[in-house]
Structure 1
Amino acid sequence: MLGRMIRPTCVRCGEPLPEDAKFCPNCGFPVGSPLPEERKIVTVVFADLVGSTRLSAQIDAERYREVIATFYQAVTEELESLRGRAYNFAGDAVVGVFGIPHAHDDDAIRAVRAALAIVKRVTELGERLLVPGSLQCRVGVNTGRVAVGTEGAEAGLLYGAVVNAAARLQQAAEPGTVLAGETTWLLTKDHVHYGERQEVQAKGFDETLPAWPVLALAPRSSRRTIPFVDRRRELRLLVETFERAQEARRGHMVTLLGEPGIGKSRVVEEFLAGVPDTTKVLTGRASPFEEDVTFGPVAQILLQEIGEPPDAPPEQLEASLEELVRDCCPTERTQEIVDLLRLALGLGDESRDRRRYRVAEIRSGLLALLQGLAARGPVVMVVEDAHLAQPPLLDLVEQLVRAARTIPLFVLCVARYDLLDTRPDWGGGLGDSLNLHLEAMSLSDAIELAKEAGEGLDEDSAARIARHAGGNPFFIVETTGMLMHTDAEVASDTESLPPDLLPPTVQAIIAARIDHLPEAARDLIRKASVFAPGTFDGTSLAIVAEPDDKVLELLEDEEFLVRDE
């Protein structure tokens, strides 16, 4: 059944399609278009301009039109800058959506960032447009399931209570503030500072809506501690490579690779906790949110070392940078090294000619700084989320390791497998580099982790959660946390986990992975999900879908399907 090639069929009516057809000859549906309706997890941002009615009575109608149009444009720009989109404009409100057309596991974080940026931008807008009084907006952010219409007049329409709930949260927010719903809070609480929980009386809802006021973004994610279970081999490899870099006084690099939640950051934390006190640890994280996306991690490292915030005055940043360099580098080279490193902090104007050599100059300055720091002990440089790094930064890291011939430098890159998709030769040509793949935990170790994280969880329930988590430590910890939070019970081993025991954090990761599959693979995995025990054979699968060998192979490679031996 699984071995024969299947002729492509229309996703709408199921009729066979002629080769190279652009439209189904039976129903006329475009070939390759998504299904007429699709369920998604999205985050809605509902922004409303405060006091717009009063403002319209105070200024000329044409002037008011200009203010509203500028408000629309500003909100749209903030949404789009963080991968969201403006979904609807209604009077003095803008509805934005994150998760369409493709979901990402950080959609909720991006939405909260956008909401804070919108509040700030609108305040500045009022000052620039010189409107009477101050211009403020309030924003509601909510995450949940929706059905998305994709055909005819319904194309792009969202169905579900998520949008209405976001509107009610917005109405309850104070002017100039952001109010987040429960699922958004669950997804972002390790990345955002929130105020005390509130209960919102929402029109049209039978129960009050729990909500949290957004105070600020956390300077660094304070993730929940995950018990360290059976990563001894990986930890030993890191320690041995670090010791070799010390002894050889030569640059070494290890790239720790794994899927989301597999425990990469936890392994790094455990390794760093065991390095000697004389070790200088430098940490930078690649992120699309940095002002300088390309060299953001280098800037983070420098700011940590000089003890200055990113928004410090340029003259203050330069003075602190000079003090750092003078403290550890040869006096006669101080100004030269400062001039090279200031490029990473965006200080001063770069000529067009100099911009061409920016990577080389930053690398030269960073190498000189590392050499100075290494005079006092070994140096560990951690580059987190390296799969998000721009090519020039990846080039810089490889060149830095290659050039560190007399420096006890250990570079530890942490990345998802996406890094190898865009950079298949990563680390190639470096004699002291290795890629370390972090695999799923064994069942026995996963059960042990579930019991530790579950604080007294019984053996059967722990085994049940461990099996469903597929050896992913993050999934295990989040599921046990939800179990304790809801006081729910885990059913027998022949049933699926209750829906309320699949935490939003885990749903977001899985939804993002599914959304980035080709359409045929997405369709198949969704149809296969109707089999409650999660196990089926080719005959059963053929009842709901017509599987193609290539699609099945892709889903196996992505570990959505596991073939029984």
Structure 2
Amino acid sequence: MVEDRFEMPAPSVEITTAERRVMCVILAEGRSAEIDATLSEAECAARTEALRRIAARHGGRLELLQSQRLLVALSGVEAPTDLAARAAHCAIALRAELGGVPLSIATGMAEVAGRLPVGALLDRVVQLFPQRPRPPESGIRLDGATAGLLARSFDILQVDERSWLGGPKEEPDSVPRLLAKPTPCVGRERELLQLAAEWRHCVDEPSASAVVVVGAPGLGKSRLAWEFLRERSEAAEVWIGRADPMAAGSAFGLLAQALRRAMGILDGEPLEVRRSKVLARVERLDGLGAKAQHVAAFLGELVRAPFPDEGDVQLHTARQSSMLMGDRLREGFESFVWAECQQRPVLLLLEDLHWGDLPTVMLIDAALQHAGSLPFFVLALARPEVHELFPALWSERHGLRIRLAPLPRRASELRHALPNKSLLQPRQNEQCVVCARSRGERY
């Protein structure tokens, strides 16, 4: 490869003023022998540039080390769980581009000197690097801190007491687990009563309602929602959408995910299968009548299951105008929600709305208004910055705003009480700091 190379800086024992921050570092083999042998010098340079773009897309900086290995450093002001998720997605993308080479990821406090992090974190990611014999299929080894931060959203494989990264979970865990057992939900009784009261009002009146639960990372928004849903999943049609930080702001992305889940549409399915699932879901709704085909066509636009527009003048015309398409999508979704609510209450859960998109927010706002006197319940979970992104979030609709505060001291003590704390003690102080930050605790 054509690239400037340099020695990794030697650890310094001097007291410095270098900045210390929580970082994730990824170490990767810079080449796959099977692929690299066939590449010309120009192709190697192009491939290196492609790797830089992957790192930059995930908010990282790539450096080529003298040992022919690649180092990607990621940092940011977000929660450590989000930082680790960025690093995991970046590592998966790098490995795909590099032809399945081994990688390692470590998370912790690090000083930055020049362009590279230095200190114990860099030593740790080097020590983690998979050696022969060939590592598990994942090929991405994790340190303890990174594995802990990713456990909710990614499959973590345990092989020979080592942690390896699997793929993203289809359904992230909403219930924290300790030694593989669910932890009790304590200290949120008041919020659960508020949610229950709003739900009863929505169903008994009936009337459409929007509840927004706001709280900092780690305060238990997802756990609160899970406890609430656990009591009502049999009594309602539940749709769940979880925003993807890597696709934040994508038009209708959050709502489309919720609808795809509700219709049982899977990634990679043939177009005809996706269309048939949309049609089947719509045709079971008696309230739509002659509008069923029209509603299905525009729901298909939302969930990436487009129908042919030959003979469908409305669909063909809408595809020529983004403004007209927006109107037709709104009408289709409003009709779908209305027909669903005629059969049973609909509960739409939106997780991580701060990574959502304005078109989704506006479409749900229109559906809340159109549903009016129907049991349509929207529960959105978000961090405080959601109000900066969507300042008037459903402000004209009936609903409730809940701001989660940190757990009271007594509840926190009960939550973290363990029969054998030594089993969970982190091996390094840096890992302890990172995990505490991810839980929103003081440290």
Same fold (TM over 0.5): yes
> Where in structure 2 are there 5+ consecutive unaligned residues?
1-15, 177-181, 308-315
Of 51, 57, 60 in structure 2, the residue corresponding to residue 81 of structure 1 is 57
Partner of 1:443: 409
Q: Provide Cα deviations, 1:393-437, integer angstroms capped at 9, x if missing partner.
A: 22222222122124210111111111123333323222x122111
Partner of 2:169: 218
Partner of 2:156: 194
Q: Distance in 1 between matches of 2:199 and 2:270?
A: 37
Of 196, 201, 214 in structure 2, the residue corresponding to residue 257 of structure 1 is 214
Partner of 1:48: 29
* Structure 1 residue 267: Cα displacement: 1.7
Q: Which amino acid aligns with 1:145?
A: M
Q: Distance in 2 between matches of 1:69 and 1:483?
A: 50
Partner of 2:200: 243
* Structure 1 residue 55: Cα displacement: 6.5
Q: Which amino acid aligns with 1:221?
A: P
Of 320, 337, 340 in structure 2, the residue corresponding to residue 370 of structure 1 is 337
Q: Distance in 2 between matches of 1:181 and 1:442?
A: 32
Q: Percent identity?
A: 19
* Structure 1 residue 102: Cα displacement: 7.0
- For residue 284 of structure 2, give the secondary structure of its aligned residue in structure 1: helix
Q: Which amino acid aligns with 2:413?
A: I
- For residue 204 of structure 2, give the secondary structure of its aligned residue in structure 1: helix
How has the CA–CA distance of structure 1 residues 316 and 388 changed in structure 2, closer, same or farther, with 3 Å as cutoff? same
Q: Provide Cα deviations, 1:286-306, integer angstroms capped at 9, x if missing partner.
A: 223359833222222222222
* Structure 1 residue 262: Cα displacement: 1.6
Max radius of gyration: which structure?
1
Of 79, 99, 117 in structure 2, the residue corresponding to residue 158 of structure 1 is 117
Q: Which amino acid aligns with 2:298?
A: L
Partner of 2:104: 140
* Structure 1 residue 282: Cα displacement: 1.0
- For residue 24 of structure 2, give the secondary structure of its aligned residue in structure 1: strand
Q: Distance in 1 between matches of 2:105 and 2:277?
A: 39
8 Å contact from structure 2 (residues 213, 379) kept in 1: yes
Q: In terms of mean alpha carbon deviation, does 181-190 or 309-318 score higher?
A: 181-190
Q: Distance in 1 between matches of 2:35 and 2:217?
A: 48
Higher RCO, 1 vs 2 (CA within 8 Å, ≥6 residues apart): 2
Partner of 1:99: 75
Q: Distance in 1 between matches of 2:324 and 2:245?
A: 23
How has the CA–CA distance of structure 1 residues 115 and 416 changed in structure 2, closer, same or farther, with 3 Å as cutoff? same
Q: Distance in 2 between matches of 1:101 and 1:439?
A: 21
**Normalising to structure 2: TM-score of the pair?**
0.82
Q: Distance in 2 between matches of 1:500 and 1:348?
A: 49
Q: Distance in 1 between matches of 2:41 and 2:426?
A: 53
* Structure 1 residue 501: Cα displacement: 8.5
Q: Distance in 2 between matches of 1:41 and 1:156?
A: 15
Q: Which amino acid aligns with 2:111?
A: A
8 Å contact from structure 2 (residues 22, 434) kept in 1: no
Asked whether 1:283 is paired with 2:248, we answer no
- For residue 244 of structure 2, give the secondary structure of its aligned residue in structure 1: coil
* Structure 1 residue 360: Cα displacement: 3.6
Q: What RMSD, in angstroms, separates the aligned Cα atoms of the two structures?
A: 3.2
Asked whether 1:425 is paired with 2:387, we answer no
Partner of 2:4: none
8 Å contact from structure 2 (residues 213, 404) kept in 1: yes
Q: Distance in 2 between matches of 1:168 and 1:501?
A: 16
* Structure 1 residue 343: Cα displacement: 1.6
- For residue 37 of structure 1, give the secondary structure of its aligned residue in structure 2: coil
8 Å contact from structure 2 (residues 241, 258) kept in 1: yes
Q: Distance in 2 between matches of 1:73 and 1:378?
A: 52
Asked whether 1:318 is paired with 2:318, we answer no
Partner of 1:343: 301
Partner of 1:70: 46
* Structure 1 residue 503: Cα displacement: 5.5
> Where in structure 1 are there 5+ consecutive unaligned residues?
1-34, 124-135, 150-154, 199-209, 458-481, 489-497, 512-559
8 Å contact from structure 1 (residues 341, 365) kept in 2: yes
Q: In terms of mean alpha carbon deviation, does 82-91 or 234-243 score higher?
A: 82-91
Q: In terms of mean alpha carbon deviation, does 499-508 or 235-244 score higher?
A: 499-508
8 Å contact from structure 1 (residues 294, 390) kept in 2: yes
How has the CA–CA distance of structure 1 residues 294 and 226 changed in structure 2, closer, same or farther, with 3 Å as cutoff? farther
Q: Distance in 2 between matches of 1:171 and 1:448?
A: 39
Q: Distance in 2 between matches of 1:120 and 1:371?
A: 44
* Structure 1 residue 94: Cα displacement: 2.3
**Normalising to structure 1: TM-score of the pair?**
0.65
Asked whether 1:398 is paired with 2:337, we answer no
Aligned residues: 409
8 Å contact from structure 1 (residues 42, 103) kept in 2: no
8 Å contact from structure 1 (residues 55, 64) kept in 2: no
Q: Which amino acid aligns with 1:215?
A: G
Q: Distance in 2 between matches of 1:272 and 1:100?
A: 33
8 Å contact from structure 1 (residues 380, 410) kept in 2: yes
Of 80, 85, 90 in structure 2, the residue corresponding to residue 114 of structure 1 is 90
Partner of 1:507: 437
- For residue 191 of structure 2, give the secondary structure of its aligned residue in structure 1: helix
Q: Distance in 2 between matches of 1:310 and 1:316?
A: 11
* Structure 1 residue 192: Cα displacement: 1.9
How has the CA–CA distance of structure 1 residues 291 and 228 changed in structure 2, closer, same or farther, with 3 Å as cutoff? closer
How has the CA–CA distance of structure 1 residues 412 and 291 changed in structure 2, closer, same or farther, with 3 Å as cutoff? closer
8 Å contact from structure 1 (residues 287, 293) kept in 2: no
How has the CA–CA distance of structure 1 residues 43 and 426 changed in structure 2, closer, same or farther, with 3 Å as cutoff? same
Q: Which amino acid aligns with 2:156?
A: Y
Partner of 1:523: none
8 Å contact from structure 1 (residues 226, 266) kept in 2: no
* Structure 1 residue 196: Cα displacement: 2.6
Q: Distance in 2 between matches of 1:229 and 1:510?
A: 16
Of 365, 376, 379 in structure 1, the residue corresponding to residue 346 of structure 2 is 379
* Structure 1 residue 508: Cα displacement: 4.6
Asked whether 1:181 is paired with 2:132, we answer no
